[in-house]
Amino acid sequence: MFKKVFVANRGEIALRIIRSCKELGLSTVIGFSEADRESIPVQLADEKICLGPAPASESYLNIPSIVGAIEITKAQAVHPGYGFLSENIQFVEICEASGIVFIGPTSKNIQLMGDKALARKTAKSCKVPVIPGYEESVLKEALAHAKKIGFPVIIKASAGGGGRGMRKVNSAEEFTKYWNTCQEEAKVSFGEGALYVEKFLERPRHIEIQLIGDKRGKIIVFPERDCSIQRRHQKLIEESPSPSVNEKLRRKLYRYAYRLAKQIKYQSTGTIEFLVDSDGRPYFIEMNTRIQVEHPITEIVSGIDLVKHQILVARGDRLNFSQKDITIKGHAIECRINAEDPLNNFMPSPGKITKLILPGGPGIRIDTHIYEGYTIPPFYDSLIVKLIAYGINRAEAIERMQRALEEIRIEGIKTTIPLYKRIFEHPTFLSGRYSTKWLENFLASESVSEQSRNAH
């Protein structure tokens, strides 16, 4: 049992955690960087303590500073949110050894799923299908397997994420060059250069299954999320349920996710991600052992507060609902509004927000930490608003999102709002027949159209 939670994060997820803690009667203390001193989470937490200068390496990723702050403030638990230290095994092990409750899975859970190659092996051991590939980080043997399964293939960093340390390879001639490039990227981004190889799927859907497990072995799985609208492996729009998943496939995804989570005795919230090929065959790709950015759409269609139950599970409570309680209630869509310029290769656009009008009305939820006059710092992820629309069906959710995108005003910086307006008018998106490749092709065609207009 704990009564004070240390929030080791920033932005909208820090605010989301603080709100859940308040509803549970828990006090909060937030660790912040100098750049976030004026942020809403810092203003609303019960206590605050500065972790260090603006760079994340000196604040939000500074393990000694965070552990020291937890001890100084006498917090008994820490919530890492997503990103930063949320999947850092060293940090979790230090918390476990120090008697600090880590609001997340065990270090063993993270170890098994954090190494993508080991995760593939674990999935195969419990008969969860994986994309044909090779898990050992040995160049000569990896190349031989790539030739065997056929090009194109993808080289991926075993400890990777976010598209770093990853390359599509179209031929044996490219393989060695890209292998070395990915290895160097992986060392810089993740501290180690282990790689693995997978067959490249041409037009898959990116489908994921949210789940939660308690400390007594109970696992609950939730309706799928479709995260196929992405750019360079970064998700931009998510929806639940997926317009491409029928009941038969849904049950199969539930079964695979449950089986894998049960195999590793998973505790806390987590998400198992699949690629589904054009024939409707699902393949496990990875597990994210944390709460995810897109969790609100699952909360809406299931009626379950995931962050609150993540905290309850961490303090030892049983999950007080069963699998039969989880049904699909309507449809929800999330747009990640980023401080980026979509017309300038998504260049980050930090700066002061001079005007802010947020949408509302039936079926609209806003998760954000920004306010008029707030200055977005240039040091962190560019996500500033999660705009969520929901309705009794997909058509109503889309109509409400279109209305919300017309209402919202964020001035003083560039945002991805204009891009989302165009996407939500496009026939392919409206039909629901898109893949992970669609947005890249759409952006390329938009760029050609823009160049053509400028030429005339």
User: Is 10's pLDDT higher than 80?
Assistant: yes
Tell me the fold of 205-450.
D-amino Acid Aminotransferase; Chain A, domain 1 (3.30.470)
Q: What is the pLDDT of residue 115?
A: 87
Q: How far is CA 195 from CA 124, 177, 208, 280, in A?
A: 18, 13, 23, 27
Q: Which two tokens stand for residue 57?
A: 């390496």
Answer yes or no: are the C-beta atoms of 340 and 414 closer than 8 Å. yes
**Strand extents, DSSP E, 34-89:** 47-52, 77-79
Q: What is the pLDDT of residue 117?
A: 86
Q: What percent of the chain has pLDDT over 90?
A: 92
* Residue 118 DSSP SS3: helix
Give the pLDDT of residue 162.
67
Mean pLDDT of 374-390: 97
Q: What is the pLDDT of residue 65?
A: 98
pLDDT at 15 over 60: yes
Q: What is the pTM of this model?
A: 0.92
Q: Which residues contact 245 (CB under 8 A, 6 or more apart)?
A: 207, 224, 226, 253, 276
* pLDDT at residue 177 in the model: 92
Rounded Cα distance, 143 and 388, in Å: 43
> What pLDDT score was predicted for residue 450?
55
Q: Which of 167, 250, 290, 394 is catalytic?
A: 290
Topology agreement, domain 4-103 and domain 205-450: no
CA 2 to each of CA 81, 92, 198, 315: distance values in angstroms, whole numbers, following the listed order: 18, 17, 43, 7
99 vs 242, 270, 361, CA distance in Å? Answer: 41, 23, 45
Determine the pLDDT at residue 447. Answer: 64
Three-state SS for 453? helix
Determine whether 290 is an active site residue.
Answer: yes
* CATH top class, domain 4-103: alpha beta
Domain ranges of the chain: 4-103, 132-199, 205-450
19-59 pLDDT tens trace: 999 999 999 999 999 999 999 999 999 999 999 999 999 99
List of residues 6+ apart from 227 with CB closer than 8 A: 206, 207, 208, 235, 238, 273, 294
Tokens of 152: 């194109």
pLDDT one-digit tens code per residue, 257-299: 999 999 999 999 999 999 999 999 999 999 999 999 999 999 9
pLDDT in tens, 83-115: 999 999 999 999 999 999 999 999 999 999 988
User: Residue 7 — φ and ψ, nearest 5°?
Assistant: -95, 110
Q: What is the domain class of 132-199 according to CATH?
A: alpha beta
